[in-house]
Amino acid sequence: MRRVERLVYAALAALALACAAGGARGDEVVLHTERSLYRTIVVYDDDGQRCMRFTRQSTARQSCMTLAEPHRILFDYLRMMLGALYVLPEPRRILVIGLGGGTLVDALQRVLPSAHIDAVELDPAVVGVAQRYFAFQPGPNVQIHEQDGRVFVKRALRSGQKYDLVMLDAYDHEYIPEHLLTQEFLREVQAILTPGGVVAANTFSSSRLYDHESATYASVFGRFFNLKRRNRVIIARAGDLPDIETIRRNAERWQGALAPAGVDGNWLTGLFDTTPDWRTDARILTDRYSPSNLLNSTRGP
């Protein structure tokens, strides 16, 4: 197996391992199955939780909620994404790419009711499932856009739209779509940020792509906060990062508002780290040299 093939396959294997823990069990009750243009969507209840997954075979949970507390966040990575508010406490314009069950957008509109939120989701079927099965009700300041996330960013760039906070949480049944991993895309995201604006990206805490993703983000944003649990969340800024004392003060400021969603500021601030734990000379991912393009380029005719 060639080196690039090992890199891609190892990344996909890491995805399965990262998501398998807590995956659907044999006693799940399937509520809804839908074949959209992009995937098969399955909604099921299991042990007091309602979850969504893509494809019948996968155990990876794209979104879950507790039936007894539908607005309480279950996944660590979503709590980590909200750590972006410790870097920029009062964003007025927010872009979220990737909807899932709507958990992140719901949390943001609850704690920031006056902020304008653009939520971008490629698959209209996912939007429908979020509203029908996951208690997602977009408020008056939330606008849903059913289109590709990169297309939306390019159009925002051309029209001069700016965002204080951009949150990247788009996944298919395997991993982040490759065109949302590249240096060119991240430069486009950087270009639609206001001065001091923040980007938060959900990615993996362990994979053969880890070094390359990290080096790609560093090539665009420089230093970034690297929050790691089962997943890892990159929090970068258009400008200098705040020091840890500022992060702690902002965490105290947000503690009361975020507590109902299950966010513990003491736990979350302990994850903020800027120390590189990747090969800083790793190859940068670009539109030309993304994993699949590299794989194809090594194949014979």
The answer to whether 96 touches 118, Cβ cutoff 8 Å, is: yes
The answer to whether 65 touches 52, Cβ cutoff 8 Å, is: no
The answer to whether 189 touches 95, Cβ cutoff 8 Å, is: no
The mean pLDDT of 92-118, rounded to a whole number, is 97
Among the options 46, 118, 164, 169, which is catalytic? Answer: 169
What pLDDT does residue 103 have?
A: 96
The residues, ordered by sequence, that sit 6+ positions from 156 with a Cβ below 8 Å of its Cβ are 95, 163, 192
Q: Is 277 known to be catalytic?
A: no
- pLDDT tens for 120-136 read 999 999 999 999 999 99
What pLDDT does residue 289 have?
A: 85
In the chain, ranges of CATH 3.40.50.150 domains:
76-269
Whether the per-residue pLDDT at 7 is higher than 50: the answer is no
CA pair distance 182, 216, nearest whole angstrom: 7
CA pair distance 231, 15, nearest whole angstrom: 9
Instruction: Let me know if domain 76-269 sits in CATH 3.30.420.10.
Output: no
CA pair distance 251, 89, nearest whole angstrom: 9
Crossing angle (nearest 10°) for helices 244-258 and 103-111: 90
Q: How confident is the model at residue 293 (pLDDT cuts 50, 70, 90)?
A: low
Crossing angle (nearest 10°) for helices 183-191 and 210-221: 40
- pLDDT tens for 20-74 read 333 445 688 999 999 998 889 999 999 999 999 987 555 678 899 999 999 999 9
CA pair distance 111, 262, nearest whole angstrom: 13
Q: How confident is the model at residue 291 (pLDDT cuts 50, 70, 90)?
A: low
